[in-house]
A and B are shown apart, each in its own frame.
Chain A
């Protein structure tokens, strides 16, 4: 088991390293020479010389690569053009916000998705199942940001039940240090978390429906029913216990979806997280920020896949570590 884990970890690290190399290559391809002939507003020559020296751009490529790697390992992601401060500082501010949103979305995703999937399995092929199945399909097919806009329109602009974007009321609660302000944060969190969570829930529901139906079809369930156990006991002690196990692996696999979804949802709701930072950076061509965000996203995806594989093995000992625990991207 340990040997497998070490191998798996090494694979993850190799993947991240490959992504870093690709990123370096792309940056160099696009901006090997700052202050080039078509670089927009004129920059004074001494500033250009400084830029070249700072990035070591007059050094051989392999030396530049080495410096880039070393900087990344120290957590130095460069300086943002638009915010005029280190990218890592911007990330330190934005990352907790994205984690809060992603966490809440994950909660919504699983709470709604699992309940829906189990209910659909219980009512398989009857009206409830078909109707909910189509509703889930519809949710899964719409652009996430459009759902966000619609929710914002209905609950924020028309009904005035919830705030229209932002993360807090800056006059009352710039910091979350009272229960009152926690409530404020939660009020602002509802719509973005619902948007991100519901779309994910649709996918989770499909998966859970299939898994639950699979369990229902198993011999031990039929045996339990034949033994005359009450239906409710059959459900609680046999079906659910085994059907809900595999969903644990979905946690890791949800990472790429949450990261990508967060980009648009944060933008629509002006939620100041990593996604919002990335879009802002793209619109002002702040490539240090965007490339750093892409790297962080890749690390999170690698972590998510690793987590999924580990949990998969832990959750179902029958799998063992021999077979390729392949994750579906």
Chain B
């Protein structure tokens, strides 16, 4: 111990050497200019606010997982630029080179013989058959299982031909067959027991057939993919894609503004948009948002689905509350339960008038008056008061909840906010233990899956938290989904939405447009609204705009 004090010089020398070495490295590092050159060098560093859970497509419905697996795995065919989900004319061939209908309920896909799994094996129709079985297996319990409920069987006619058979014909057969299903490598996954897919090692190191290959995933830090130069539909120009996980959106935006990251999927607030637009190195890309938010009333008694809610069981009261909410910016408000992505978006759809005077009048007519003079309406001893459930994790929902609270207070309605953390919010929503809640749904490109799950009797016990059950609405929705062509479908959808609006199970609050931020050095950027990175393999960084990040060879 005492001896160590005398040799105090040795550590000092070592430190000096270490510091000197570091300085040299730093200087040397700056001087280096080599690395990748040419047209296939771009590196995209995405500041992501969510981290994937398992990289196996059937198992996870997280948007962050979808962004990654969209690059590693292929679908048979993908949505075209028009976003039309009816019929098959507007779809683009991907894994399937072509297809034809061998009858009203039989769809035959011919796989592209060039398609290869990243371990070298060719993609075969047996893989398609295997994938279909996995997606519909109750042990795997895929959230996308219901998308395939009208497919009766998938068989491999030969090594490159897969045949889909449906139970009955309907307009979005093709969409259901291809949109949610990403083809999986049967030779790598067949041996995994079906109830252990969520914890399989493949989920943290997937092998696919897509334009990008999985490189590494450091939990909580980053996930990296590298372009497959032999990809049969064309070599991707962006050589590396890296997701950098950040704790929140403001941090992500800060990183992008500081140059520590390249892209952000959605800027959300006007303030963020302004800051990005002020930066000359960045460009903004607006695209249709796929989400809508609403204040939903619980039509059943909290915790007891057999009874009506003491307040919201009454239709007229709900209608009065919906009318009481007046919006400043009508352009963003959805005309019903829909996002901007849906083709049924029609501002002409009849809704309840947003008129606070009429709302107050209706409340008074129903018997709700402020008899005690306390600013809260009452009727037969019952106060017009309820709680609104909001998750603390979403700033937007909290802001809307408070605005609604103020609006209703001016109407003589006493609203208290229950701000709970996200897991508790989900639990209470599922078990019906709430009066009203502010919720947001992110939707598919078509209303045919989202609306039934959330607003019909088929969704009771699942996503239909409010327990809205109107058989007339259900039947209109069914007919709209089955209508053979667009026009009759559009009319039926409109009638259904108008009926729902009259029933007023919710106040529809927002359906925002999304704005992404990307550096200007990226060219040929197209963003498909339903999945912003779907066309990533066509983006590029021209050779004359390469930066250090693009040049780094790893």
- Chain A residues in contact with chain B, CB under 8 A? 38-42, 44, 46-47, 50, 79, 82-86, 90, 93-94, 157, 160, 163-172, 174, 178-180, 182-183, 186, 241, 245, 267, 270, 272, 276-277, 280, 283-285, 315
Known: A50-B195, A160-B258. Contact between A272 and B423, CB under 8 A?
no
Candidate in A183, A267, A315 with the most chain B CB atoms within 10 angstroms: A183
A-B contact list, 28 entries, CB within 8 Å: A38-B431, A40-B423, A40-B426, A42-B462, A46-B139, A84-B199, A84-B203, A85-B199, A85-B203, A157-B254, A164-B260, A165-B246, A165-B251, A168-B221, A171-B43, A171-B240, A171-B552, A174-B216, A174-B218, A179-B25, A186-B22, A241-B5, A270-B247, A270-B251, A272-B219, A280-B220, A284-B423, A315-B1
Cβ contacts under 8 Å, A178 to chain B = 25
Contact A182 B22 (CB under 8 A): yes
Measured CA separation A171–B461 after assembly (Å): 45
Q: Complex formed: what's the CA distance from A283 to B139 in Å? A: 27
CA distance A44 to B224 in the complex (A): 34
* B-side contacts of A79, CB under 8 Å: 199
CB–CB B5/A83 < 8 A: no
How close is A47's CB to chain B, nearest CB, in angstroms? 7
Q: Are B220 and A163 in contact (CB-based, < 8 A)?
A: no
In the complex the two chains form, what is the Cα distance from A305 to B554 in whole Å? 44
Task: Give the docked Cα–Cα distance between A38 and B218 (Å).
Answer: 34
Would you give the shortest CB distance from B11 to chain A, in whole angstroms? 12
Known: A164-B254, A170-B244, A171-B43. A82 touches B53 (CB 8 A): yes
B465 to chain A minimum Cβ distance, whole angstroms, is 11
For the complex with contacts A41-B426, A182-B25, A272-B218, 16 further pairs of A-B residues with Cβ separation under 8 Å are A44-B141, A46-B195, A85-B201, A164-B254, A165-B246, A165-B247, A174-B218, A179-B22, A179-B24, A241-B2, A241-B5, A245-B1, A267-B247, A270-B251, A276-B220, A283-B423
| Residue interface mask B187-231, A partner, CB < 8 A = 1 | 000000001001101011000000000001011111010000000
Residues of A within 8 A of B422 (CB): 283-284
- The residue that B430 contacts in the complex, of A42, A160, A169, A272, with Cβ under 8 A, is A42
Pairwise interchain contact B427-A40, C-beta atoms closer than 8 A = yes
Question: For residue A271, which residue of chain B has the nearest CB?
Answer: B220
Query: Using Cβ atoms and an 8 Å threshold, which residues of chain B touch A38?
Result: 427, 431
Contact yes or no, A180 B25, CB < 8 A: yes
Contacting residue for A40 out of B1, B22, B220, B431, CB 8 A: B431
Residues in chain A near residue B222, CB distance under 8 A: 170, 174
Q: CA A283 – CA B393 in complex, angstroms?
A: 10
Complex interface: chain A residues within 8 A of B201 (CB): 85
| Those of B117-161 within 8 Å (CB) of chain A | 138-139, 141
User: A-facing mask of B1-28, CB < 8 A → 1, else 0?
Assistant: 1100100000000000000011011101
* B407 adjacent to chain A (CB < 8 Å): no
B533 at the A/B interface (Cβ < 8 Å)? no
A186 to B54, CA, bound (A): 31
Contact B26 A166 (CB under 8 A): no
Contact B54–A164 (Cβ < 8 Å): no
Which bucket holds chain B's interface residue count?
35 or more
Inter-chain contact B251/A164, CB cutoff 8 Å: yes
Whether B224 contacts A174 by the Cβ 8 Å rule is yes
Determine chain A's interface SS by DSSP, over half rule: loop
Contact (Cβ within 8 A) A84 B198: yes
| Alpha-carbon distance between A169 and B54 when the two chains are bound, in angstroms | 24
Is the CB of B100 closer than 8 A to any CB of chain A? Answer: no
State whether A84 and B53 are in contact (beta carbons under 8 Å apart), knowing that A44-B138, A170-B222, A280-B220 are contacts in the complex. yes
- Given A40-B423, A40-B430, A164-B255, answer yes or no on A180-B29 (Cβ-Cβ < 8 Å): yes
Q: Is the Cβ of B141 less than 8 Å from the Cβ of A93?
A: no
Give a binary string over B240-255; 1 marks a CB under 8 Å from any A CB, 0 the rest: 1010111100010011
Residue of A nearest to B431 (CB): A38
Interchain CA distance A283-B430 in the complex, whole Å = 18
Q: Most B CB atoms within 10 A — which of A160, A171, A285?
A: A171
Residues of B close to A280: CB separation below 8 A: 220
Closest to A82 in B: B53
Q: Which residue in chain B gives the minimum CB-CB distance to A177?
A: B554
A33 to chain B, nearest CB (A): 16
CB of B198, distance to nearest CB on chain A (Å): 5
Name B256-276 residues within 8 Å CB distance of A: 258, 260
Say yes or no: A41-B220 contact (C-beta < 8 A), given A85-B199, A163-B260: no
Q: A166–B221 contact, CB under 8 A?
A: yes
The distance from the CB of B388 to the nearest CB of chain A, in whole angstroms, is 20
Give the distance in Å from the alpha carbon of A272 to the alpha carbon of B216 in the complex: 15
| Residues in B whose Cβ lies below 8 Å from that of A183 | 22, 25-26, 29
Q: Is the CB of B251 within 8 A of A93?
A: no
Q: Does B354 contact A (CB under 8 A)?
A: no
User: Is A283 a contact partner of B426 (Cβ separation < 8 A)?
Assistant: no
CB–CB B198/A171 < 8 A: no
Chain B residues within 8 Å of A90, by CB: 219
The 8 closest A-B pairs by CB, nearest first: A272-B220, A170-B222, A179-B25, A40-B427, A180-B29, A285-B423, A84-B54, A84-B198
By a CB distance below 8 angstroms, the chain A residues around B141 are: 44, 47
Q: Is the CB of B549 within 8 A of A171?
A: yes
Contacts of A180 in B (CB 8 A): 25-26, 28-29
Instruction: Report how far A78 CA is from B24 CA in the complex, Å.
Output: 46
Given the complex of chains A and B, what is the CA–CA distance between A18 and B434 in angstroms?
Answer: 41
Residues from chain A with a CB closer than 8 A to the CB of B260 are 163-164, 169
Set of chain B residues within 8 Å of A170, measured between Cβ atoms: 45, 218, 221-222, 224, 242, 244
Chain A residues with CB under 8 A of B258: 160, 164
A15 and B76 CA atoms in complex are apart in Å by 59
Which A residues are in CB contact (< 8 Å) with B29?
Answer: 180, 183
